[in-house]
Amino acid sequence: MNDWKTLDTDELNGLLQDRQAIYERYRNRRLRLDMSRGKPCPEQLELSMGMLDAVGSAHSPKTADGTDTRNYGGLDGIPEAKELFAQMLEVQPDEVIVGGSSSLTMMHDAIARAMLQGVLGSAAPWGKLSAVKFLCPSPGYDRHFAICELFGIEMIVVEMKHDGPDMDAVEKLVGEDESIKGIWCVPKYSNPDGITYSDEVVDRLARMQAKAADFRIFWDNAYAVHHVTDHPDRLKPILEACKAAGNPDRVFLFSSTSKISFSGAGVAAMSASVANLNQIRKALSVQTIGPDKINQLRHVRFFGGMDGIKAHMDKHAAIMKPKFDTVLSLLETELGDKGIASWNKPNGGYFISLNTLDGCAKEVVAMAAEAGVTLTKAGATYPYGRDPRDRNIRIAPSYPTLSELGTAIEILCVCVQIAGAKKLLS
Ligand code: PLP
């Protein structure tokens, strides 16, 4: 099929009528398909069920150093769990705090502490300043943006390129404006683009001049080990890069096993320089007597180490790959070469990011919803829910079955074609 931009009005009208008829047939089927959030499917969750037996009545509840995980204490996590996350995040164990079950909570709390008390090196708590701004490479993760909105942090959109945020823009903004205190980054298999930052981007982030002495990179490495192909991306370790650039305190790293073991019942961790962590531990010791160490021990015992995590993630990939393949091959068949949509082909993560013609995303998401396909709200991948080009749609293929997914993507493609044809006719 030709590029639709080259078609004349009659041809486009013909295509539009044809697709509208197909759409009506789907609508009459009254389907209910949900692709709105990146949730693991039940088969993925089954992979970790053995973990629930790893700290049972027949096992010792004690860590290697004799700590009883059933009791209070161990503010920043058990040593074995620090070791595991240190390997995953490519940092040292003393640069890790292992927390509860949610890395998002740790990110929220890191911002809350910064607002109330500042971070290491702050002249004043961020909340006392007349303005606090964050750079938000977009499209990005809606819940990062929601945290900024909650705390009244002004968000500045930075364009995502094929290898990470537009670093010329980042360097300029961060170098000039003292009220820019941070940047959100999902550096590996980014949500939603599936992009992994290049070494050059990591190095530039680590060494750029920041006007704010207490500038922080919020490095949300949620998809560190979540490949879906046999040629995974490689991410340069940022804490090392920051140290090498003479900015050891610049970065806060976050991760969790939410999409390795159980979503909502995994283990989360943050990492930063020892100096940063010493400051954070002081506040943490007021907030809690310690995290759920039983869950940490369960995870360590079940996975054994990084090799165990890698083998486990291969099993996830075996479930996820056919889903990614289904989406990508349908997008290619239905939308390829038509010039009305573009998308990425990630090597991992949880999402495929689809761009329609400008001004079509809201209409597509609304039409899909009418036909029973729930997608992430259009605009959600941008700060304040405002996609300036109204074109980005996040596809989350993990939860539906393969056959549900196929139907959902067919419907989505018909909606993209209808909105695209209408746009070209307008
Ligand atoms: N960070 C990113 C980029 C995510 O996509 C998600 C979940 O979708 C999370 C964090 C949530 O992490 P957690 O379950 O550890 O709070």
Please give the average per-residue pLDDT across 403-426, as a whole number.
96
CA of 104 to the centre of ligand 1 (A): 6
For atom 6 of ligand 1, the residue with the nearest CA is 222
For atom 7 of ligand 1, the residue with the nearest CA is 38
Distance (Å, whole) CA 416 – CA 72? 54
Cα maximum dimension of the chain: 78
Contact by Cβ (8 Å): 24, 367: no
Distance (Å, whole) CA 219 – CA 234? 15
Q: Which atom of ligand 1 is nearest to the CA of 105?
A: 16
Please give the average per-residue pLDDT across 289-316, as a whole number.
97
Q: Is the CB of 55 under 6 A from ligand 1?
A: no
pLDDT tens for 42-58 read: 999 999 999 999 988 88
* Per-residue pLDDT, 290: 95
Percent of the chain surpassing pLDDT 90: 96
Contact by Cβ (8 Å): 329, 137: no
For the cut 60, the answer to whether the pLDDT of residue 86 exceeds it is yes
Which band of pLDDT confidence, cut at 50, 70 and 90, is reported for residue 2?
Answer: confident
* Per-residue pLDDT, 130: 97
For the cut 90, the answer to whether the pLDDT of residue 30 exceeds it is no
Domains and CATH numbers, the chain: 4-44+310-425 (3.90.1150.10), 61-304 (3.40.640.10)
| Residue from 37, 44, 104, 105 whose mutation best tests the ligand 1 pocket (most atoms within 8 A of CB) | 104
Which band of pLDDT confidence, cut at 50, 70 and 90, is reported for residue 391?
Answer: very high
* Per-residue pLDDT, 58: 84
Q: Is the CB of 376 under 6 A from ligand 1?
A: no
**Mean per-residue pLDDT of the chain:** 96
For the cut 80, the answer to whether the pLDDT of residue 273 exceeds it is yes
- The pTM of the full predicted model, rounded to 2 decimals, is 0.97
CA of 117 to the centre of ligand 1 (A): 25
pLDDT tens for 215-264 read: 999 999 999 999 999 999 999 999 999 999 999 999 999 999 999 999 99
| Residue from 220, 253, 292 whose mutation best tests the ligand 1 pocket (most atoms within 8 A of CB) | 220
CA of 222 to the centre of ligand 1 (A): 6
Q: Is the CB of 194 under 6 A from ligand 1?
A: no
Please give the average per-residue pLDDT across 299-318, as a whole number.
97
Q: Is the CB of 186 under 6 A from ligand 1?
A: yes
Q: Is the CB of 191 under 6 A from ligand 1?
A: yes
Report the 3 state secondary structure along 254-313: EEECCCCCCCCCCCEEEECCHHHHHHHHHHHHHHCCCCCHHHHHHHHHHHCCHHHHHHHH
Classify burial at 240, counting beta carbons within 10 Å of its beta carbon; exposed 0-12, middle 13-18, buried 19 or more: middle
